[in-house]
Each structure stands twice: as C-alpha cells, then as structure tokens.
Structure 1
Amino acid sequence: MEQHKSYHEQALQPQQWDYLEHPADRAAAAGADPEPDEPDADHESDQAGQWGLFGPSTVTWRVHSDPLIGLATLRALAMQVLHPEGMANVFATARRVDDPWDRLQWAQRHIGAVIFGNSIEAAMTGARLRAVMGQVGGFSGEGSEFRGDDEELVLWMHCCQVASFVEVTRRGGLTLSDAEHEAYLNEQLRTAAVWGLEPDRVPATRRDLTRYFRRMRPQLRMTHEARAFISSLISPAVPELLALTQRNRPSWAPVAGLAWSSLPNWARGMYSSVPGDGAGSLAPSAATVALHSLRDELHRNRH
C-alpha cells in the first residue's frame, strides 16, 4: 500500500535535505517491480495521470533526483532575495529572517509535489502557493504598491529556481548535453503554468533566461534583510545545524556557503563583502570542484 500514498504523505523529513526522492526509488525500496523502460509504458502512465506533469523519461526527473538539488534550492533562495519584493515573498513562508530553514523545507515540499506528484497534487500545490502569495503585499522601493502574486514577481521567483536547479546540478557533475539543458527549461513551462504564469512569457531557452536576468539586474539591490537572510544560511544556529545534518555528511555551514559561492558572478558582485569564510569565499572555479566533491560524497552516502 506504500506506493499508493500521496506525495504529501511521503513528504521529505527535515533531515532529508540533499535530494528530492525519486518515486521509482520509493517503489523499488517497497519491493515493487521496477517501472518498464518502454516509452509506451511511460506514455500510458502519463495518460492515466500517474506521473502528473512529468515522468521518468523527462530531463526534469533527472535534474530533480540529483543529490545537489537541496543545495540548488538554497542557491535559488539566495538569488530570490536580491529582488526587494521577492524578499517579501520569501518572508511569507519563513518564520523570521534569521531562520530560513522552514523556508527551505517549504520550498522543497512544494517543488517536489509539482515535479513528482500526480496531476491533482501538482494543481493543489499551485493553488496553495498562489493563495499564500496573494496575501503578501507592500510597497516597493519606488513607493508603488505590489502584491506577492504579481506576475512579474512570480516570474522572478520561478526563473531563479529553474536556473539554479539545472546550473548547480550540471556544474556539479550531472551529465546533461546542451540540448538536454534546453529541454529542461522547456519542460519547466509546465511548472510555470502551475504557478499561474502564462507560458509564452516565461524564458524557455538558455539565451532567453540570460536575457531575462540581464533585464532584471537594474531592479535588484542588496538590502539589510537580504544580507541577514544570506548570512543566516551560511552561519546557521548550532541547534538548527544539528537538527538538519546526519552522520557522515558534510556540516551544513560549509554546504550553505557553497550554495552562495555557486551564485552567478553578477549576483556575488552585489555584495560589498563575502558573507562568511570557508566555502562562502571560494572562487567560481574552486566552487565547481567543491560541487563535484560534494556530489560524489552524497552519492556514496545515498547508496
């Protein structure tokens, strides 16, 4: 009966930060027969709604089953808070600025439900997110009023996630061709639709995504709240650190520092100083090497 539970009933525990569990892995662990490899079987499952928005044959499942997906989620948060109104959306699902771990777990649960859940779970997750963001409001730096579910703001949140997921996992050693990278971005139009975005407004190629971030950069700034949020990621309180790590895994602070070091150069350049030392001060080339090493270690602990 285990394989018939919903994704939310099998949601990640706080300790499972490193990857979003692949449904096929869960079925195998429960003693179920592995899924057939034939494309027709995948198609039939998709038609029946078993795989929801995606399926075993998609690049999305490969990316989101990677051990570095948790670190990529952290990197996405570090990008999102550079948008002042995006910071408000992050606050909406974090208890306080110096406690980002609830926000990380919240993001993992919701993203995982959309990626690995069935069609109903994906739709319900999107509705829940839109309801939360619809309650966020305030005034921008220019004095204009904004809502958390404004299309431009939701688009920013989505693009930070998509870019982080594929760039961190690929940079850390996940084998993806340029064509598969492009395919992932195109597949993520389905996720964008769940968040309430019009697909024709969402960057669906690497070129379009690069242009989007270039266009957004004048609107970004380093606020006190954003710096406090990033600093709390890199230097978490010890009780939280102990609760979120498992034996034989790298300590959380260096991993969080590596998430910051994996940011694009333009994002790192917005800081007047490095928010921390150790992994948080790695040069881009050294961060790439560290991502490879971390991914290898996580693979060993995972199997």
Structure 2
Amino acid sequence: MSGPTVTEDRDGFFGPDSVTWRIHGDPSFSVGGIRALLLQALHPVAMGGVHRFSDGFRDEPWARLTRTAEYVATLTFGTRREALRAVRRVRGAHRGKSDTEPTTGRAYSVDDPDLLLWVHACEVDSLLSVARRSGMQLTQDDADRYVREQVVAAELVGCTPGTVPTTVAELAAYFRRVRPQLALTEPARLAARFVLVPPMPGWVQVLTPARPAWAGLASLGLATLPRWARSMYGLPGLALTEPATTAAVRAFRTTALAVPPRIRENPTLRAARLRVA
C-alpha cells in the first residue's frame, strides 16, 4: 500500500474543507471541550482509569489539559505524519495499563475499545452540540458529516472499526444504550470539582482574571450538558433555562470572535492555514 500523497499529507486527515476544521477552529470548541470532560467522567470504568493512571490529572492538571488540547489540535490540523506521531504517543501511553474498577467490579485495560469509544462519543457529541447552540451555521447534513469524519479519529486511537457512530442519530442511539452503565462515582466528583474549580497559584488568582474567566467558561460547559447528565450531577435545571444557556453560549462566541485571530486561534490552526494556502 503506497503512502499518502503530498497533498493528503499536507491537508492531514480532514483538510480545510472539512466540517471538522470549522468546528475545531471555532471559539465554541472551548466550551464543548469542558462539556466533554464532564460527560466523560460519568462512565465509572473510563473515569476509574483516568483516576488510577493519570497522576498528571491530580498533580499537574493544567499540563494534562494542555496535552489533551494539543493532541486534538494536531490530529485535526496537523499533517498526516504529525497526526500519526501524536496517535502513537497516546496509544503508547495507554498500553499495558489495567486494573479493576471497584464500584462495578470490572477488570479493564485503559485501551479497551469500548472505553475509547465512550471518550470519543462524548467529545464528538459535546463539540457538535455546543457548536450548533453557539450559532454556527451547520445544517443537518453538516452535522452528520462531522460525526462521519470523526470516525477516522476514533479508529486511529483504537476503537473497533464498524462500532463507531457515523450519524447524529447513531450517536444519540449510542448514548441511550450506554446510559444504564453511567454513575457519579467519587473519582467523577473529584474530576468535576477540578474542571469547575481548578487549582490555581495564588498570584494568578489575585493578579489576573483567570479565576472568574474560567468560572464563566466552566459554568457554560456544565449548563450545556444534556438534562440527564446534569441530573446525575444533582443540577438538572441549574439557574439557567435552556434558552438562556443557548443565549449565553452565543454571546460567548460573538465576544470571542471579536478578538483578533492571531490571539484567539490555536497556533496549530494558524500554521495549518499557512501550510495549505
């Protein structure tokens, strides 16, 4: 089998005409990312693996979040060679890590395909849901195309081919099947607490607007969760109604889009635009 052409490698696995580039390059991505983390935490076994093996989540949380964001950016906007290198690093980090989750009694490996699929589905559902609520012009065909494009990302990281949802309807059906397995475990509570009120150095809290800025962003991520997930966190209604939440997400995106791209955009995205221009 021959390798990718120069154009394929330059464009990466998705390319500038993809819905993936549109959604992952939009300011709504940050809110969707927080929503995904909160949703992912509700799977006892997946969250158990994070709690057991990701020391960085507890000791160096910002470094872990940064690495995760960089991985998604490289997979989205990098060349195929760059993306495959990032995938190999992630799969290497997962390899050989296994344990038993105490609340379910399930023996698992971090790279079990069904756990990787849960993480993938939460990310895709969250990024798409928040993008649509934020006012991005996405048709139903666009939404289905995004879910279908992301199958590549799922299979690269180790999901079983043929099991990954390819449409919005299939994604919704997947969540209906998995919901009976979900629970708010103690590791999930700790993870949610970190996401909503992350540790920050004292000088950062006093001398910068980081704390209130993050609090606003995290609140949006929580408010945009599906009602059943908010109920599991004990916050089914929150202080915001659904229309108010949508209005707040749209206001956030409008404000963020007013910031110059050189400040707002991910450096990997800016480099990709120059590369494919």
TM over 0.5: yes
Residue in structure 2 matching 1:213, options 175, 183, 191: 175
Mind listing any 5+ residue stretches in structure 1 that lack a counterpart? Answer: 1-43
> Structure 1, residues 21-57: CA drift from partner, whole Å, max 9, x if none?
xxxxxxxxxxxxxxxxxxxxxxx8633x101101111
RMSD: 2.7
CA 1:46/1:198 → structure 2, altered by over 3 Å: closer, same or farther? farther
Greater fraction of residues in helix: 2
Instruction: Indicate the residue corresponding to 2:15 in structure 1.
Output: 55
CA 1:118/1:139 → structure 2, altered by over 3 Å: closer, same or farther? same
CA 1:248/1:192 → structure 2, altered by over 3 Å: closer, same or farther? closer
Matched to 1:53, the amino acid is F
The alpha carbon displacement at 1:288 in A equals 0.8
**1:138 is paired with a residue of what secondary structure?**
strand
Identity across the alignment (%): 34
Mind listing any 5+ residue stretches in structure 2 that lack a counterpart? Answer: 262-277
Instruction: Indicate the residue corresponding to 1:282 in structure 2.
Output: 240
Instruction: Indicate the residue corresponding to 1:203 in structure 2.
Output: 165
| Range that drifts further, 148-157 or 232-241 | 232-241
Distance 1:240 1:154 in 2: 36
CA 1:247/1:51 → structure 2, altered by over 3 Å: closer, same or farther? farther
**2:11 is paired with a residue of what secondary structure?**
coil
> Structure 1, residues 230-281: CA drift from partner, whole Å, max 9, x if none?
12222233438938x977997111111110111111111112357xx9xx64
The alpha carbon displacement at 1:126 in A equals 1.4
Distance 1:283 1:238 in 2: 30
Superposition map of 1:26-45 within 5 A: none
Matched to 2:64, the amino acid is R
Is it true that 1:259 corresponds to 2:227 in the alignment? no
Residue in structure 2 matching 1:149, options 111, 123, 127: 111
**2:108 is paired with a residue of what secondary structure?**
strand
Distance 1:134 1:248 in 2: 35
Instruction: Indicate the residue corresponding to 1:108 in structure 2.
Output: 69
Task: Between the two structures, name the one with larger relative contact order (CA 8 Å, sep ≥ 6).
Answer: 2
> Structure 1, residues 85-133: CA drift from partner, whole Å, max 9, x if none?
2113434445244864333212111111111111111111112111222
Instruction: Indicate the residue corresponding to 1:5 in structure 2.
Output: none
Matched to 2:134, the amino acid is G
> What's the TM-score, normalizing by structure 1?
0.76
Distance 1:241 1:184 in 2: 41
Is it true that 1:121 corresponds to 2:82 in the alignment? yes
